[in-house]
Structure 1
Amino acid sequence: MKNLTLHKIAKACGGKLFGCDEGMDKEVSGVVLDSRLIKENFLFVAAKGERVDGHDFIPQVMEHAAAGVVCERAPEIVSGPYILVEDSFQALKDIAEFYRKQLDIKVVGITGSVGKTSTKEFIASVLAEKYQVLKTEGNYNNEVGLPLTVLKIQEHHQAAVLEMGISDFGEMHRLSKIARPDICVLTNIGECHLENLKSREGILRAKTEIFDFMQEDGAVCANGDDDMLRRIEEINEGTLKGRKPIYFGLDESNPVYADEIENRGLFGSSAKIHMKNGEFKVKIPLPGVHMVYNALAAACVGSLLGLDGAQIQEGIAKVKPLGGRSNIIHLPDRVIIDDCYNANPVSMCAALDLLEAALTRRVAVMGDMFELGENKEQMHGRVGAYAVEKGIEVIVCIGELSLNMYDSAKKGAREAGSESTELYYFPGKKEFLEKMSGILRKGDTVLVKASHGMAFEEVVKALEEK
């Protein structure tokens, strides 16, 4: 890893190096926080977590010929080099920041309330048509995951696509300091993490901290159909001051826009993308109109990094679904829309839009949405009403907060005269799973969606096994 020697690591994180008489200028091969991932010549960062203290595994790590250890307290038995620091998690961030500065690589940072992960997949797939790409895996998008992702960048990589997630002010500032993106992509400003950020204005302010450490020649791609993002008339930070975002969307006023959209239901869609340097048709393999926005973001980034229309077309067509995120599971007797990784009001309504496109009887199994702040009851209620508006035949609401969803759906169905709408409420997954076989029919299309803490992957598994 370029310039990542024990000596420079200690200097970067403000630590004190011990037990290193020789080899202090040898570059380490990797950096890990999990002792199970240690390999020869890797650096192990020992940190105290909620359940496990990494310091307990230092002897085991040294047995595997680790290059050294970063730790908050000196090992009882010293069998190799270690760097003593005040805070191991902060040291991890400092090391990643130092390493990022050594790299000659294009970094794309993605943030927004909804769609970060799917947008990341689209952008990475497009860039892979020309570059060797590293992308964020899983949920490695926070102040622990992002530095670990940066530290996975190797010399053969030519571009990195990094998802950047936050829940409070200041977090994006710190993430930007590590990632130092060349291109920032903002998907939208919705209603999540309101407990800390209070309002959509607050969310916008927190998300745009991503600009704080952008590269001097950087660019911003933003959803121009989002009313809050449209307020960014120009960047107000540092060397980018006065530079305007490149907007993408479905409205023709955006410099990058899509039209001639053909919805193919659960099989995706097609569209024509218009850009400054031309226009071209794309086939979008993932279902939902919101995926068109992801394709537009990818086209915008791809164009900035020198890809032509044919390469962008090919990259979009190759995008694969991720488990728990609008993943369509075709079974002999039903279709499942597995979208249970996370949820907020915007993504919940987008998932219902997708379910609406199914040609069979449609079933929405929805659970609680977390971190919505003081208006959480009303927000759950809006989702219930929206499900009725979309004509969903069977609406299942699970969880304490989802009682508001159920009540609102019941009221909406009554007012609309939708007597055929089937409505069910269950306090928890267990109660639903016990009654599930009596609710579902052969041939149904079933949406499963809730916040990650509801663990609705258990519902998906049960549906697959029935």
Structure 2
Amino acid sequence: MNLTLADVERCLSSMAEEGHETIAITSVQTDSRTVGKGDLFFCIDGEKFDGHEFAAQAAKSGAAGIVASRMLADLGVPVIMVRNTTTALGRLAACWRDTCGAKLVAVTGTAGKTTVKEMLSVVVSEKFTTAKNYRNFNNQIGLPLSMLKADCTQDIWIMELGISVRGDMEELAPIASPDMAVITNVGPGHLEGLGNETGVALAKTSLLKYLRQSGTAVISQDYPLLWDAARELVDNPVGFSGLPYDQTHESAWNDTFEKTECDYVASFLAAEANGWGRFRLRTPDGDGEITAPFCGDHFAENLACVAAAAHQLGLTREDVIKGISTLKTDSQRFCCKGSDSVLVIDDSYNANPLSMAHSLKTAAKMAGARPLVLVLGDMRELGEETSMRHEELGRLVRDMAPKAFFYKGSLQEDVRRGLNGSIHLSEVHSPEEFIQAWNDLELDEAVVLVKGSRSLKMETFAGALCKRLNTIAGTEETPR
């Protein structure tokens, strides 16, 4: 980072103290435990902690300066006073972005935004130096910290923006001030804070109001609420589509694929070994089948999105294919693990109705004639639609006709209403309880999907099953 304390002061208060031009800032921290010599410490006032209480510790650890919103005791280091430290953190990130002049791509959407950010990063890295958020550090703290960790030698910053309540995007988008806005999809996620799907579409597309002059919008055409809302704000959005493959009526699907009116289209065709998938991808550079280290219709949507964004950045279809072949899938985002006989799909990072439907349909397609086992948990933050959406989940599970269905959470009765008695729901409270039930099933060749909201820690169920399978196989190796 090439900032001085005087640069920070001019950004946050327009005036710099004498002598601060010579105080170099090494990095920006919001956790006093990570502060090192030369760092700038922001006293963030959070729900569970108040950074002002740790300012002395930051100073002792070598902080070059502290940003605070209330008076502190003399700590022996410069203190910059601001009205709100979270807002100030975002303002500093915006100043740093202007200083560096990198092209910034902002990615948002109900589902798939982290995956798209990761995929786009590996593709763009084929030709450009890039920066990105770590995992999903995408809120009012995570976004500016991610931007402040980027540097001026990097050509393109790919930043994910996550929102959960009205007004979030209006806080995040000015920080990013993107040259390109990418919106993966919209669906019933964070309804507790965004109201309904129309509210989600309006909240996500408000990002487009903050596009820089001559900026580009890359938008899914598969969601009418999203596409219509986007076209109200930008004249010529770049569209993409993830078209479901219809093997039964392949000729009709081919006709639809070829006539789809956007230039970037992808379809998931079939699962290959070890979690890879076969896809068809069309861009202005060509049309044909490819293989990639992921599976599912939702990944086709992601693939089309990445191809569209990459093309606008000057990359080709071949660059996309080469880049995604190197992608390392996240261990909790539709990651295929398990043993030689049982495939465990760990999609436990989080869940909303859109991502849940995507994952269920893909798992069923991957299972084919093999037994399908579902290990699911509640979907949180759905507000007034909570009961209805879980009943919908029950109906979707009923259509999947799994061999076994395990469920963790307080909303199982809503799910049971959707099942309508056609599928048995086995309630489980812990990984140990689930493993005991699994042992009684004696299932071979099964495909197991594990998914639920983050707070339920469904990854512990996937981990316990993988450990059990490896024990049976006589190895304690890390699941593949």
**TM-score between the two structures when normalised by the length of structure 2:** 0.87
Aligned to 2:415: 405
Q: Note closer, same or farther for the CA distance 1:285–1:331 as it changes in structure 2 (3 Å cut).
A: same
Corresponding position: 1:362 with 2:372:
yes
Contact kept, 8 Å, 1:43 with 1:66, in 2: the verdict is yes
Contact 1:16 1:84 in 2 (8 A): no
2:32 to 31, 35, 55: 35
- 1:242 is the counterpart of 2:235: yes
Which residue pairs with 1:342 in the alignment? 350
Partner residue, 2:388: 378
Deviations 1:21-58 (A, max 9, x none): 52335442211111222232221112233333323333
In structure 1, the residue matched to 2:456 is 454
**Alignment length (residue pairs):** 451
Structure 1 residues 204-223: aligned runs within 5 Å: 204-223=201-220
Q: What are the ranges of 5 or more consecutive residues in structure 1 without an aligned counterpart?
A: 414-420
Give the secondary structure class of the aligned counterpart of 1:161.
Answer: strand
Does 1:47 find its partner at 2:47?
no
Is the contact between residue 256 and residue 275 of structure 1 (CA under 8 Å) also seen in structure 2?
yes
Displacement after TM superposition at 1:341 (Å): 1.0
Runs of at least 5 residues in structure 2 that lack an aligned partner in the other structure: 244-256, 469-480
The DSSP-based 3-state class of the residue aligned with 1:306 is: coil
Q: 1:16 to 1:57 in 2, by over 3 A?
A: farther
Deviation for aligned residue 1:134:
1.2
Whether the aligned pair in 1 keeps the contact of 2:292 and 2:324 (CA below 8 Å) is: yes
Alpha-carbon displacement from aligned partner over 1:111-140 (angstroms, at most 9, x marks no partner): 111111111111111101111111111221
Name the SS for the 1:13 alignment partner. Answer: helix
Q: Please state whether the residue corresponding to 1:24 is helix, strand or coil.
A: helix
Structure 2 counterpart of 1:10 = 9
Whether 2:303 is the aligned partner of 1:295: answer: yes
Query: Identity over aligned residues, as a percent?
Result: 29
Kept after mapping to 2: 8 A contact 1:173/1:212: no
Q: CA deviation at 1:437?
A: 3.2
Which 10-residue stretch deviates more, 441-450 or 220-229? 441-450
Measure how far apart 1:259 and its partner are.
Answer: 5.6
Change (3 A) 1:380 1:181: same
CA contact (8 A) 1:194 1:372 kept: yes
**Structure 1 pair 347–100 and aligned structure 2 pair: CA distance change class (3 A):** same
- What residue identity is the alignment partner of 2:261? N
Does 397-406 or 247-256 show the bigger shift? 247-256
Greater displacement, 274-283 / 335-344: 274-283
How far apart, in 2, do the equivalents of 1:463 and 1:15 lie? 57
CA contact (8 A) 1:233 1:245 kept: no
Q: Is the 8 A contact 1:190 1:346 kept in 2?
A: yes
Equivalent residue number for residue 417 of structure 1: none
Q: Distance in 1 between matches of 2:450 and 2:15?
A: 50
Q: Report the equivalent of 2:425.
A: 423
Tell me the equivalent position of 2:97.
100
Pairwise mapping of residues 14-413 of structure 1 onto structure 2 (< 5 A)?
14=13, 22-232=19-229, 234-236=231-233, 241-250=234-243, 251=257, 252-258=259-265, 261-264=268-271, 267-279=275-287, 281-331=289-339, 334-356=342-364, 357-358=366-367, 360-411=370-421, 413=422
Matched residue, 1:416: none
CA distance in 1, matches of 2:61, 2:101: 31
Distance in structure 2 (CA, Å) of the matches to 1:372 and 1:462: 29
Q: Distance in 2 between matches of 1:233 and 1:86?
A: 34
The alignment partner of 2:33 has SS state of helix
| Greater shift in the superposed pair: 50-59 or 79-88 | 50-59
Deviation of the 1:342 alpha carbon: 0.7
- Aligned partners of 2:49 and 2:461: how far apart in 1? 29
- Residue 375 (structure 1) shift: 2.1
| Partner SS, residue 265 of structure 2 | strand
Q: Distance in 1 between matches of 2:286 and 2:341?
A: 44
One-letter amino acid matched to 1:247 = F
Q: C-alpha deviations, 1:89-127, integer Å up to 9, x for none? A: 121111112212222211111111111111111111110
Question: Take 1:308 and 1:180, find their aligned partners in 2: how far apart are those partners?
Answer: 26
CA RMSD of aligned residues (A): 2.4
In structure 2, what residue type is equivalent to 1:86?
R
2-side partners of 1:106 and 1:24: how far apart?
27
C-alpha contact 1:406 1:424 (8 A) present in aligned 2? no
CA contact (8 A) 1:183 1:221 kept: yes
